[in-house]
Structure 1
Amino acid sequence: MANVRYTQEKRIQVAEYVLDGRYSASVASKVFGIGVNTVCRWVNRLCEKRGLPCYRAERKGRRRESTRARLKELVRRNRRLEKQLAQARETAEILKAIPVHLYSTTRFKCEAIHEKRDCFPVSRMCEALGVRLASYYQWIRAEARRAERRERERALADVVIRVFEENRRTYGCRRMKVALANEGVDVSEYRIRRIMHENGLYPVARRRWRPYRKGTCDSMYSENILQREFLPDALNKVWAGDITYIATSFGWLYLAVVIDLCNKEIVGYRLSRNIESEIVVEALGSAFARRGVHEGLVFHSDRGPQYSSRRYRTMLAENKAVPSMSAPGCPYDNACVESFFACLKTELLYRRKYSCMEEVESDIFDYIEAFYNRRRLHSTLGYLSPVEYRLKRLAA
């Protein structure tokens, strides 16, 4: 760059541009064609005249302060990340020791936390398992009350066992209530029955003789109108129903079905945990809702208490249906429904283990609605499915 002499006014003007912040020293150097060091020297001279700090020293000071601030922020951030990493590792160790999928309820989670309280902090385990700390301590207090209740229950069970053995294992729950009251123990008959059942205390008693019911009918039962005529000549002329038991890992379930014997179609069914009259009423109600009311319809069933209940008989009367029942102790009179239950259990239920009711409901719905009624071929129907046979009859 050629040596050029600048006037004092020009030097002050360039220095003021830099001090005012319009340009930095490097930008002013490019704009005016002057070296960076020269610009900085002019700025420093103007700073000395005005009593300001040195331009270069101020920039270095600001750079050092900025560097210190960044270092402090990085240190804080590093500490925060290290803390989060330590918490994540601790959470991983907690979840490894307490698999969440095995403890689905709050009670099970609290039991696991209480068991591992010497290995991990309780607050960290609660956070990892999604349990409020207050809920855990509430469970602790409730568990203490439950432990006291269990201790009282064990003491009462010992008294019940002693009294039962002293009376030669012949007392039932009613006499046990009186015997315990004589010893100053006031407890309900229901509680005595439960304790005896839990401890296997069954009184020795003679079995009551019951005469075999003959074929004559009374007001509870109906005549056998069907007489094993399982091939009616029209749809909605004869329906048959029954209840079967389904064994699961969480107890017994009960399935009631209604079959149209003309095309072997399941027109109504109901799955329940309770074997009460409600199950057959709802199954029959679903059948009427699907097929409608047909005067003179014969509904055949066995002599179970559900089918002799007042609600069931009233529903048949309201829908103009005629009840028919099998002979006492004769399953062959309802063999058509028993045959369906055999197919259901062989083709579906015996091939799976169920752990919840939703699985059973889903499988039975899929088997009846998607497979049995619409796809499964029946030899008695000319190897047609029930729905195909019904549509063929309606189209004829």
Structure 2
Amino acid sequence: MKAAAITKQTAIASMSKVCACFNLKRDAYYKYQQRWKRYKSVESRVIELVKEERKMQPRVGVRKLYETLLPSFKSTHIKVGRDSLFDILRANNMLVKRKRAYAKTTNSYHHFHKYNNLIKEVQVTKPNQVWVSDITYIRTVKGFCYLALITDMYSRKIIGHDLSDSLELAGCLRALRKALWHTKPAAGLIHHSDRGVQYCSHMYVNELKRKA
């Protein structure tokens, strides 16, 4: 159908000859042309309604948008389903992009000394041989909170933790102090982390050296 339209515009051949090449009747081409015009008219009106709604709700998704606009579609006799609405918005680059649903917890770009990986070839055979420190985030209705953890690599037991509303050093230090207080490891303990800024800071390293 598109080839027929292009041929008609450029006057390369008559419409009858073009339709015959594609084994089509002229009536079929003209009916298609009418349907396409109706579709573009509906698409244009739908886009106008969506733009008006997005002025008040810039990040509204397709599902809610369809429910909101359904009365307007019915009153203007526009027959558009939810899937068709999705197709129109996608074709016109109007889908709302999702915001990043995770929080970055590691900052490895810092000026503190980064220690070598000491557990690369170590065989862990007992508790309190290797402790692993990490921070994970928990999403809440008010935003993110951050859980600092100290885990014994052999037993997989969490031996220190702290829940905080920020990624500051204080939460990691509290988790470490809990682990040191409850476990009191022997000399030679290996502390392993992702070498983020919290774990390489002077305060954290000095705490380890002083008590571990």
Point out which structure has higher relative CO (alpha carbons under 8 A, 6+ apart). 2
Taking structure 2 as the reference length, the TM-score comes to 0.46
Higher helix share: 1
Higher strand share: 2
Larger-gyration structure (1/2): 1
